[in-house]
Amino acid sequence: MVGYKEGCPVITLNPKEPLFFENYDVSVDLSFLGIENSKRTITKRNRQITVGIEKYKVYRRVAFLMSLAGLLPFSGKAISVRKVDENKVRVVLDRARSASFTYDKSVVVGCDLLEPKIPPDKHMVLDWMDVRSGMIHPYDVMENSSDFVNCIYFYPSNRIDGNHDRKDLVSVSYLTSEQLRSYEYTDTYARFSILEHMKIAGIRGARNGRDTKNPEKYKYYAVKIETGRREVLPMPTKITMRPQPTEHSYLRHLTENM
């Protein structure tokens, strides 16, 4: 958003768009981007809350506009950035290519890209799970006090085509490097913890016929989930950047007319 507002070129290393569960506050005005900050209601364990539009939709819009304006020169192909002089950087690209830039001022966002990288104290760990039994329920998110399986987000399963109400899930943990090496924090233990939280919330598996003692009641299988994949990401830097109108005349023209 800094590059968009200032109308300056942006060099990105391994850019990642916001995750599907990251939302803007309903108070944020996005009309200058041609986007309506539509309100949505999501269901937590004990309450419902109102959130704004998903951040990845705004990210894609801004990236599209900046690409048209020529402000994303490498389209995510930069491998590393090194400072070679007081006001000069060297960008290494794929296929053994490189480019050098001089600048009057620079803004480094996210981490110290121009200096030797320091391992983060904590990592964001995403454990993606396939739900085999227990896919239908009202919850969108479950929050916990522990850093391990801190949040569980449910989303429409990508394994099923069409419009449906069956959900898979991803859990978010915040772990140190030492914890990542411990068996007690593996995706297997994450799976056990998720199953327990789903059970406490009253989520049940598929129907298993009627109760022989009371034909008006159904029996249900236990919830069943399978480990999909684990992603370990550096802890995101806590930078609050709300979208602001651009000061770049051509970029503003594209924004208002695209």
Same domain flag for 9 and 75: yes
Per-residue H/E/C for 93-159: ECCCCEEEEECCCCCCCCCCCCCCCCCCCEEEEEEEEEEEECCCCCCCEEECCCCCCCEEEEEECCC
Higher-pLDDT residue of 155 and 220 is 155
Same domain flag for 144 and 99: no
- What whole-number percentage of the chain has pLDDT above 90? 52
Q: What is the pLDDT of residues 166-203, one digit of tens each?
A: 999 999 999 999 999 999 999 999 999 999 999 999 99
How far apart CA 147 and CA 143 sit, in angstroms, is: 10
The answer, yes or no, to whether residue 128 has pLDDT greater than 90, is yes
Same domain flag for 67 and 91: yes
List of long-range contacts for 47-52, beta carbons under 8 Å, 24+ apart: 50/26, 51/23, 51/24, 51/25, 51/26, 52/23, 52/24, 52/25, 52/26, 52/27, 52/28
Same domain flag for 148 and 248: no
The answer, yes or no, to whether residue 118 has pLDDT greater than 70, is no
Same domain flag for 164 and 134: yes
pLDDT for the residue numbered 237: 61
pLDDT for the residue numbered 35: 92
Other Cβ atoms within 10 Å of 182 Cβ, number: 11
Confidence of residue 221 (pLDDT cuts 50, 70, 90): confident
Q: What is the pLDDT of residues 44-90, one digit of tens each?
A: 988 899 999 999 999 999 999 999 999 888 877 788 888 788 888 88
Same domain flag for 188 and 111: no
Quote the number of domains for the chain: 2
How far does the chain reach from its first CA to its final CA, in angstroms? 18
Same domain flag for 109 and 71: yes
Q: Taking residues 227-256, report their average pLDDT.
A: 82
The answer, yes or no, to whether residue 117 has pLDDT greater than 80, is no
Same domain flag for 62 and 166: no
Same domain flag for 158 and 215: yes
Same domain flag for 10 and 74: yes
The answer, yes or no, to whether residue 17 has pLDDT greater than 90, is no
CATH number of the domain within which 143 lies: 3.30.70
Same domain flag for 144 and 229: yes
Same domain flag for 144 and 195: yes
The answer, yes or no, to whether residue 1 has pLDDT greater than 80, is no
Its domain, for residue 243, covers 2-118+237-257
